[in-house]
Chain A
């Protein structure tokens, strides 16, 4: 018992010294997005974060199957399709996370007894995939004109073995990381909508990651704003 306490204390001091050099690792990769690139869906967007790329299409509000009809709100469905092979458990779990995030912001009660379907296609995975899926879904929902309470974005943080925080990690950084945390934040007051984590971390580190994600979300929302401004500009 005493032994474990000591190591804990050691860990904590190690983290403390680590804090000084967090600056350079904390940057977001280059972002790109294209809206309304597919003709069939009501809204579509492709979102790129570095080499990670996700294509999203949104149908809705549209006719709903009787079995899936909800009498006082819209039925939100998220379909995530992998690039190779058939969707498995990992895709199902991501679908659920994305659906829960979307349900938190989409004003489904304005369109009762309809369906809103978000279809996501992974185009290339080079780290921070779930965050990219969330961003693509948000832009596609905006493009489809689905009423939302707020926008949302996904941010992935990775913690190295020495406690260094990395934002928007690449696949390699994710692999080497001790913990990978993904958050969904809303645009109004950067509150947490969803979080999913993998690996070991202390609660102080969790708060640090969350604070860093909130700082990074400002950049993402600014990117959203600028891309929408460009889209609806006259020139």
Chain B
């Protein structure tokens, strides 16, 4: 689905409002939208809401062999996905320019700033290191994806615990979470992106632009800062010329904003840790607001399944008994026989296959016959009662000698018993035995 274009009226309205220092949602120029962080039951899973923009983050780990030129460093991998859920214009499975840009920016913000100690992720130098994978899914797009994604990434990384490993000599032991408490990653600092939208060639500036504002902006400046006011990444896009003073002012604002956000993150992480330690309820179910009219909860409900037995028996009793039709093997031509009722072969044109039979010799005929036979047996088995299906793995080929009524000549037919047959097909089996004995 295509994005609905912004009309000229809307565009003018938005720009006029920005000139008058007003924003659609009533915020001031430097205000962030509300940030809400909720955690899942697994470690390293979080949902970050920045206003209506929503990002799901999940961190996972895996033991892999390191890159040859960095034998003692763990691997960090970031993957931001723009799900179609977030906006109808995002197409699944396509790497759009926006997506590439956002992924690159995230990598620069989190990997290249060395906020995670990759050397502590090494298990055996040159052989085994941890690969930490951060998956971020945009669930709802209401502007400023990068800020929300960077918060989600760092929160998920802080929340994550990897399994403990011990190395004794050459032996590496991986402990399950039940055996030893999983260990957190060592994080040096928490870089967070702050976006500034510029309008009218840099005359007006807004922090945390929402989707509408992003559409009419001229340029975007993203600054990643940590709480020590160290700048980790700066990126300006949109081709606007900014003055040195503007950039410096933005970096100052970013420092203030990041300090606030970091405090919020730490509080959220502490809360979650406390609840987990006390054995209270945690997870997304707890973060659903009870008072909201759109939310509803139901406690554990026990289902009365006393009459299930009787019901099942009733249904089976009412069901038609399995058909007793076990047809005699029909001999079509020498080398081709059929057991069961058989259905028309839907594998291509029947005329052609018959021709093949005549010309191609026994091989083609045998496969054709097998298809027919299988379907035949299945048909006669439908509705069979309480006979548990016994599947056997043996795919041995059986050689059966059939003796048709009219043709006294003995003909060998190959049957591949892919499915060792079920109870009702007793007759053919017996026959097989008899013939074998006769042989």
Q: Is the CB of A123 within 8 A of B284?
A: yes
Q: Is the CB of A31 within 8 A of B56?
A: no
Query: Which residue of the partner chain B has the closest CB to A215?
Result: B303
Q: Is the CB of B285 within 8 A of A207?
A: no
CA distance A196 to B297 in the complex (A): 28
Given A33-B295, A51-B41, A215-B303, the answer on whether A38 and B85 have CB atoms closer than 8 Å is yes
From B83, B295, B301, give the contact of A27 (CB < 8 A).
Answer: B301
Q: Is the CB of B311 within 8 A of A207?
A: yes
B141 — which chain A residues lie within 8 A by C-beta?
Answer: 40
Q: Is the CB of A85 within 8 A of B302?
A: no
Given A19-B309, A53-B40, A121-B137, the answer on whether A59 and B1 have CB atoms closer than 8 Å is yes
Q: Is the CB of A207 within 8 A of B294?
A: no
| Residue interface mask B306-349, A partner, CB < 8 A = 1 | 11110111011000000000000000000000000000000000
CA distance A207 to B308 in the complex (A): 8
Q: For chain A, which range describes its interface: under 10, 10 to 19, 20 to 34, or 35 or more residues?
A: 35 or more
B9 — which chain A residues lie within 8 A by C-beta?
Answer: none
Q: Is the CB of B285 within 8 A of A48?
A: yes
Q: For chain B, which range describes its interface: under 10, 10 to 19, 20 to 34, or 35 or more residues?
A: 35 or more
A83 — which chain B residues lie within 8 A by C-beta?
Answer: 45, 56, 58, 135, 137
CA distance A166 to B253 in the complex (A): 56
Q: Is the CB of B296 within 8 A of A41?
A: no
Q: Is the CB of A208 within 8 A of B294?
A: no
Candidate in B303, B304, B429 with the most chain A CB atoms within 10 angstroms: B303
Q: Is the CB of B305 within 8 A of A28?
A: no
Judged by a CB distance under 8 angstroms, whether B24 is at the interface is no
Shortest CB distance A109–B (Å): 21
Query: Which residue of the partner chain A has the closest CB to B302?
Result: A27
Q: Is the CB of B316 within 8 A of A203?
A: yes
From B41, B45, B140, B293, give the contact of A40 (CB < 8 A).
Answer: B140
Q: Is the CB of A29 within 8 A of B300?
A: yes
Shortest CB distance A219–B (Å): 5
Given A32-B298, A39-B142, A121-B56, the answer on whether A4 and B88 have CB atoms closer than 8 Å is no
From B45, B300, B388, give the contact of A200 (CB < 8 A).
Answer: B388
Q: Is the CB of A11 within 8 A of B85?
A: no
Given A32-B296, A34-B288, A216-B303, the answer on whether A11 and B388 have CB atoms closer than 8 Å is yes
Q: Is the CB of A63 within 8 A of B312?
A: no
Which residues in window 92-151 of B have CB below 8 A to A? 92, 133, 135, 137, 139-142
Q: Is the CB of B298 within 8 A of A211?
A: no
B391 — which chain A residues lie within 8 A by C-beta?
Answer: 200
| Residue interface mask A11-32, B partner, CB < 8 A = 1 | 1100000010011001111111
Query: Which residue of the partner chain A has the closest CB to B84?
Result: A119
CA distance A27 to B86 in the complex (A): 35
Given A27-B300, A40-B140, A84-B60, the answer on whether A59 and B88 have CB atoms closer than 8 Å is yes
CA distance A28 to B42 in the complex (A): 21
A167 — which chain B residues lie within 8 A by C-beta?
Answer: 303, 305
Main secondary structure of the interface of B (DSSP, over half): loop
Q: Is the CB of B285 within 8 A of A53?
A: yes
Q: Is the CB of B284 within 8 A of A48?
A: yes
Shortest CB distance A29–B (Å): 6
A19 — which chain B residues lie within 8 A by C-beta?
Answer: 309
Judged by a CB distance under 8 angstroms, whether A1 is at the interface is yes
Query: Which residue of the partner chain B has the closest CB to A41?
Result: B85
Q: Is the CB of B312 within 8 A of A207?
A: yes
Judged by a CB distance under 8 angstroms, whether B387 is at the interface is yes
Stretch in A145-153, A181-189, A222-230 touching the partner: A222-230
From B41, B85, B284, give the contact of A119 (CB < 8 A).
Answer: B85
Judged by a CB distance under 8 angstroms, whether A90 is at the interface is no
Q: Is the CB of B293 within 8 A of A34?
A: no
Judged by a CB distance under 8 angstroms, whether A101 is at the interface is no
Query: Which residue of the partner chain B has the closest CB to A210?
Result: B312
Judged by a CB distance under 8 angstroms, whether B162 is at the interface is no
A205 — which chain B residues lie within 8 A by C-beta?
Answer: 312
From B45, B85, B297, B308, give the contact of A208 (CB < 8 A).
Answer: B308
Judged by a CB distance under 8 angstroms, whether B76 is at the interface is no
Shortest CB distance B343–A (Å): 22
Judged by a CB distance under 8 angstroms, whether B178 is at the interface is no
B271 — which chain A residues lie within 8 A by C-beta?
Answer: none
B385 — which chain A residues lie within 8 A by C-beta?
Answer: 203
CA distance A215 to B54 in the complex (A): 37
B47 — which chain A residues lie within 8 A by C-beta?
Answer: 123
Given A22-B308, A79-B92, the answer on whether A84 and B52 have CB atoms closer than 8 Å is no
CA distance A36 to B294 in the complex (A): 7
Judged by a CB distance under 8 angstroms, whether B244 is at the interface is no
Shortest CB distance A37–B (Å): 7
Judged by a CB distance under 8 angstroms, whether B386 is at the interface is yes
Shortest CB distance A31–B (Å): 4
B429 — which chain A residues lie within 8 A by C-beta?
Answer: 1
Q: Is the CB of A28 within 8 A of B84?
A: no
Shortest CB distance A42–B (Å): 9
Judged by a CB distance under 8 angstroms, whether B170 is at the interface is no
Which residues in window 159-208 of A have CB below 8 A to B? 165, 167, 200-205, 207-208
Residue numbers of A with Cβ under 8 A of B are: 1, 4-5, 8, 11-12, 19, 22-23, 26-41, 44, 46, 48, 51, 53, 55, 57, 59, 62-63, 79, 81, 83-85, 115, 117, 119, 121, 123-124, 126, 165, 167, 200-205, 207-208, 210-212, 215-216, 219, 223, 226-227, 230-231, 233
Q: Can you give 16 A-B contacts (C-beta < 8 A)?
A: A1-B429, A31-B297, A32-B298, A34-B294, A35-B295, A38-B140, A57-B139, A59-B84, A79-B92, A84-B133, A119-B85, A203-B316, A204-B313, A205-B312, A219-B298, A227-B296
16 extra A-B contacts, CB within 8 A, seeds A33-B295, A208-B308: A5-B423, A8-B390, A22-B305, A30-B297, A34-B295, A35-B295, A39-B52, A57-B84, A59-B88, A79-B92, A83-B58, A83-B135, A119-B83, A124-B284, A215-B305, A219-B298
